Structure formats: structure tokens, C-alpha cells
Structure 1
């Protein structure tokens, strides 16, 4: 755990540098620390270094960590694929969901969200690269799905999320993120001031994502180190 503060600082420095390059305020980009497969102790080390927003891909693992770290004022984001039989614990424990790709899932999240928690913040996931192996709505389906989310009483539509196909070419990285941003900007006036979030960019393409307007970047191993296992 001793390396987490230094790695977290390095990622924050990279975000600041990319924001300056883009002519943006550093505070316009939120770092989401992806803590999947790392235990509460690792999360706590990041918390003590100043990090308060965490992303989880696996439902039960995330729920267990949320319980273990309750009362610390943390924000928990679900960023993994959503199975229909997992919507209830997601709706009951998380503050954000980035991966809504079907109206059926959105309806279940709304129906199962405890009213005492307030609306669940939701991003529609866009399959911008058209990969068969990737989750997300096709670009042409995003507007209708986003509209459906706005009609659900216990959800708050916040924006779009995307995981483009990994490429090393920087121009190609920017092009994929620019395509997501164009969809976002097309919809922004339609959905009002709450529609303010572009969740895109990870360790390998963080700079390109910020240059193209990301407001949340999702970074895991660059903060917590190499994962010893995956599910």
C-alpha cells in the first residue's frame, strides 16, 4: 500500500498537465480510482491520500467494500457490465452507474432505487468503436435511450460513458473520443444542465480523452499497481 499515494499523485499530475494543454481548468476533470480486485485497505490508502471517488466493476465486491468503508463520505461508481439480476444491489448501494446500455436495465434501476437515497446518477454507455465484444448502445441509439432515462423517476441522466477500442496511435485515440464528444454536445442542449458528464479515458489514453473534453477519467492499475487476479 505504501506506493499508492505516490502513484495517485503522479496520475493527478498527468491530469493537470493534460488540462493545461487543453486550456481547461484542472478541476474540470474528476479522477475516478478504479479499485476492482483491490481490498478495502488499498482503497483506504487512497482515501488517506485525498481520493474520494471510486469505481467498481463487480457488484458483490463493490457492495462489500462500500459496507466496509461506510461513513467516510466516499462516492461509489459502478462501471461494469450490468446483468438484469444484479440491478437491485447496484441501485441500493452505488451513487453513480456509468454503464446503462438498455432501457430495461434503466427501468429496473429506477424501480429498485430506494427513495431515501435520492436519484441515481446515470451515464449512457456508447459503443463508439462498434466492437461486438463491448457493451454500450450504438451511437444512433443513444438519444432515444437517454430520453428514456429522463422519464424514469429515480434516475438522473448525467451524460455519456465510452471505452473506445484500444489503439496506440494518439490521433486515433483522439478521434474516437471526439466522436463521443460530438454526440454529447448534440444532446447537451436537449437534456439541460445536469447533462454535464463525459466519462472516458483510462491510464493509456487519459491525455487524449482530456483533450477531447472528458470530465471523468477512470484509472486503476496506475494508482493501485498491477492486479494479481481478475474475475
Structure 2
């Protein structure tokens, strides 16, 4: 076993142990939380190492990089998720290629994804990204516009809304993010009640704050640095 293999396997094992401990504190079961290994800017060989160790869920943020990795690793049954900001012009390249698209934040993008999914005769799972802190530099719908987008998506036959996603502000102390995680959970519950639907996924929590996110109800954490190390070029 190479040093890189040892490193990656040890890292993801530590993350999953921390997930288990956070679930214990929150009175939840570890299987309620999916660990997404965020592999953007890391080699396909790293993904393959973790796959061979039993991990399946990976997140990518850049369309061309993600599609290239999918082609390189086409023989593996990887659970691919797209989590980055998505330009409308690239929506057609993403539809049908990922288990879920986490970053839907506009009526235009939803419509384009539905149109491409319809052409492919597939149903694309999506999450709506909510800008819970109203940060100008981040994507995501506002709380005020969320209901309208949920309602619109309900009318699309080739999109399935499975949850909400958020990127809270960065805090040195992860407790600072807790109110934003709690708010996303409340918004999800509100949308379920308002539209009579189920939104099983809450995609929130990253390397620095996933333990708090789990305590606030996250069902999918997005962990990159703690698994892969610092991204090349950073």
C-alpha cells in the first residue's frame, strides 16, 4: 500500500468516526448522514483509491473536470454529485450525469435542466441552494424567493426536488454556522408543510463545521480538505 493510499484511507476513516460521534451526540444514526468526498482539483487516482476502500459518494464543482473524471472512471459505479455554481449554458452538460445537482438557484437553470433531462428521458434529482446569510458573493435563492422556485419545480416532470443546500459564512468557531444550519432545516420543514412534499436531503456542513451541521439535521456533508488534504495550487 502506498503512502497516499494509507493517507486517504486513514483520513476518511477519521471523518466517518467523527460523523458517528456527532450523530451520537444528536441522537441520530450514522447511516442517516452521507459523507460526500469533495474531489475537485484532486486526481482521479485518489477517487479510485477511496472507491477501492469502499467509498462511493463524490462531489465535483467544475463541469469539464467532473466529466473528464467520469469518463476516466467509467467502469466504477460512483455516486457522483455536482455541487458547484452552475452556469445556465452548461446545464445541458450536467443533466443526467449526476445523482444530484445541489446548486440550482434560479428559475432559468431549473428550466434548462428539466428540458435537457426530458430530452434524455431521465429524471434529474436536484437541490435548491439557499443563500441563508444573504451574502452578495455567493449563489443561492433568498428565503423570500424560495417558495416560488419550489412551486415552479413541482410542475416539471423531469426534475425531482430532493432537498435544500446551503453554504453558510465561514467562522473560525464552527458554532458560528449553527444558526444558518438551523435556519435551512426550518426552511426545509416549511416547504414540506407548504407544498405537502418530502425533502429528505439537507446538504450542509463541510470540513470545518460538519459536526455542527449534523447536530442541526444535515443528511449530507461535503468534506474535501479533511479527506484529500489541501487542494493543488492552494
> Deviation at 1:40?
1.1
Matches within 5 A, 1:72-221: 72-113=76-117, 118-189=122-193, 190-193=195-198, 195-221=199-225
**Partner Cα distance (1:217, 1:117) in 2:** 29
| Worse-matched range after superposition: 103-112 or 162-171 | 162-171
Judged with a 3 Å threshold, the aligned counterparts in structure 2 of structure 1 residues 203 and 146 are, in CA distance, closer, same or farther, namely same
Judged with a 3 Å threshold, the aligned counterparts in structure 2 of structure 1 residues 54 and 114 are, in CA distance, closer, same or farther, namely farther
Q: Secondary structure at the match of 1:93?
A: coil
Q: Secondary structure at the match of 2:208?
A: helix
**Partner Cα distance (1:171, 1:39) in 2:** 32
Gaps of 5+ in 1: none
Asked if the contact 2:202–2:220 (Cα under 8 Å) also holds between the matched residues in 1, the reply is yes
**Is 1:46 equivalent to 2:55 in the alignment?**
no
Q: CA RMSD in A?
A: 1.4
Asked if the contact 2:131–2:167 (Cα under 8 Å) also holds between the matched residues in 1, the reply is yes
**Partner Cα distance (2:40, 2:147) in 1:** 30
Gaps of 5+ in 2: none
> Deviation at 1:18?
0.4
Asked if the contact 1:98–1:161 (Cα under 8 Å) also holds between the matched residues in 2, the reply is yes
TM-score with structure 1 setting the length: 0.95
> Deviation at 1:115?
5.7
1:69 corresponds, among 55, 70, 73, to 73
Asked if the contact 1:92–1:114 (Cα under 8 Å) also holds between the matched residues in 2, the reply is no
Judged with a 3 Å threshold, the aligned counterparts in structure 2 of structure 1 residues 222 and 117 are, in CA distance, closer, same or farther, namely farther
Asked if the contact 1:115–1:154 (Cα under 8 Å) also holds between the matched residues in 2, the reply is no
Judged with a 3 Å threshold, the aligned counterparts in structure 2 of structure 1 residues 73 and 115 are, in CA distance, closer, same or farther, namely farther
